[in-house]
Structure 1
């Protein structure tokens, strides 16, 4: 089987799609009460994990998994409160916010970001031009 080359942006889109689909299938596990709904739940599981597996072959696994699970966790907690009338809790909202901030922080300190951050910073500070000028002098 030929392996498809994905760039990191497409891989991150797959992680996000997988996380969103996870919100639906997790709720489906709780509310499914007939064979058809169980089939849809199974399809959701398949789509969600396929997106995650494909994406994690192209980006840093630890960060991608944290984002995938963070989206799923946040989405399920929020949908339970907003759609399925679970009691609203300021503590739950605060913990979801902390979870999301932690996942975002993890993304910022990932290896994948290190090189991109250095390149962007060098470009913004004009260090690339300075380096080119120094190379011309030598």
Structure 2
């Protein structure tokens, strides 16, 4: 499988487990906690698989970037987190950084 696709899936899993942390309520809710742990493990496995073919620094930076970007966007919709010019600028900078690493 294409390592960039695997890395993208790992990043999506990172978004899911990051949001799962909120739903697990400090791991006090059983099923959200189990789901969060399973998805986190899957995210790490996919990341490790992608790193077989991609440079470690690039793969890790893209993985965390996808996670940060996706989580920030999802949090606005799911948890009504505020949107400000500074937050949007930060998200755009993350996207630019991910694109630059992909092209490098």
Query: What TM-score, normalized by structure 2, do the two folds share?
Result: 0.90
Larger Cα-atom Rg: 1
Provide the aligned length of Structure 1 versus Structure 2: 101
SS of equivalent to 2:54: coil
Task: Name which of 68, 87, 101 aligns with 2:63.
Answer: 68
**Residue 91 of structure 1 pairs with residue 90 of structure 2:** no
Structure 1 segments, 4+ long, off by >3 Å, are none
CA RMSD of aligned residues (A): 1.2
CA contact (8 A) 2:15 2:67 kept: yes
What is the CA deviation profile of residues 86-131 of structure 1, one whole-angstrom value per residue up to 9, with x for unaligned ones?
Answer: 111221111111111012112222xxxxxxxxxxxxxxxxxxxxxx
Matches within 5 A, 1:41-56: 41-56=36-51
C-alpha distance in 1, partners of 2:94/2:40? 23
C-alpha distance in 1, partners of 2:3/2:20? 25
What is the CA deviation profile of residues 49-103 of structure 1, one whole-angstrom value per residue up to 9, with x for unaligned ones?
Answer: 1000011011111111111110000011111112211111221111111111012
Task: Name which of 31, 37, 43 aligns with 1:36.
Answer: 31
Aligned residue in 2 for 1:14: 6
Query: What TM-score, normalized by structure 1, do the two folds share?
Result: 0.69
Aligned residue in 2 for 1:82: 77
Higher relative contact order (CA 8 A, sep 6+): 2
Provide structure 2 residue ranges, at least 5 long, that are not aligned to the other structure.
none
Aligned residue in 2 for 1:105: 100
Provide structure 1 residue ranges, at least 5 long, that are not aligned to the other structure.
1-5, 110-138
